[in-house]
Amino acid sequence: MSFVCRVSIASLLIVIINCPDIASQPTISTNNLASIVIADSSRRQAVTVLLHNVNGEHLGSGVLVAAPAGGRWIVSNRHVVAGEATICVVTAKGANQPALVLPEQKKSHQALDLALIWLPTSPPEEAVVAEITDQSNISEMLPMVVATGYPAELSSPAKGSQYSERSGLLVPLLKQPLQEGLDLAYTATVEKGMSGGGVFIGSALIGINSAHRDPLWPGQWKDFEGKEVEPVLHNKLHIVSLGLSTATIMGAIKMSQPPGDKEIQQLSTFNCRKIDHLETKGSRKDAHTSSLTEKTGN
């Protein structure tokens, strides 16, 4: 799998030069900064996975977040894997393995747009998972974030499946979660296929992508209790991307148990064939609009 990144080191250097607080730090050389940027990107890519079904149809993206005994937890969006009980997971190293989608998660009276996926692993296998942090630990006012994933538009026979990153700012718009538990707002552009991918500050995961900005069929945003949000907030929500925070994600994992041996054994009959490219027609499943009642291309 190849890699597309729309964040240049040169642009980061411009930000640093124009920011007195950062520019005044004499201990960070240009070479060191470049090394940090590259290392963070490598860590983000290592924990971001591509999801497809047995037919090779692109479903969306996911993130490796925990490695208890016997396997790894992958998180994605419920709308990405809707209707799927077993899927295929392609890691940054190219491994293509079957995994189980857990039944729908509930919080209060509503379902979260969160899918928990169990990827069984053998003991000798290295457990690469994301570094987890919570947005409450962030001291910066408008920190830069990076959204990761595998855009469907970049998947083709000629290009293969391409990992991609989009940069933006984390913005404090949400005082309480929206419908389906969305509690992160940021300006990074999330494209179709990137739903379920990570939202990072440096190499630390703060959440996953769920809804893109500028939806094709805008609807009425509602809060988690089902009440319509204020018009001012409603208008702002159409110009940002939205996601689920790690606090919500890890809370759901703590309340969940890995599948039993009987379910895991069923994976032995599930063939994740080697694919040189992904079909894009299945990407219609990776779809979310701001109305959260209709599904469209994300």
pLDDT of residue 110: 64
CA distances from 63 to 113, 167, 206, 223 (A): 15, 17, 11, 26
Among left, alpha and beta (phi > 0; psi -120 to 50; other), residue 10 is alpha
Assess contact for 60 and 68: CB atoms under 8 A: no
How is domain 1-298 classified at the architecture level of CATH? Beta Barrel (2.40)
Assess contact for 119 and 102: CB atoms under 8 A: no
SS3 77: coil
Distance CA 134, CA 137 (A): 6
Whole-structure pTM value:
0.82
Assess contact for 74 and 64: CB atoms under 8 A: yes
Assess contact for 288 and 298: CB atoms under 8 A: yes
Distance CA 182, CA 194 (A): 16
Q: Which residues of the chain have pLDDT under 50?
A: 7-25, 109, 156-158, 280-287, 289-298
pLDDT tens, residue by residue, 68-114: 988 999 999 999 999 999 999 999 988 899 999 998 766 554 689 99
Q: Return the domain boundaries, the chain.
A: 1-298
pLDDT of residue 14: 35
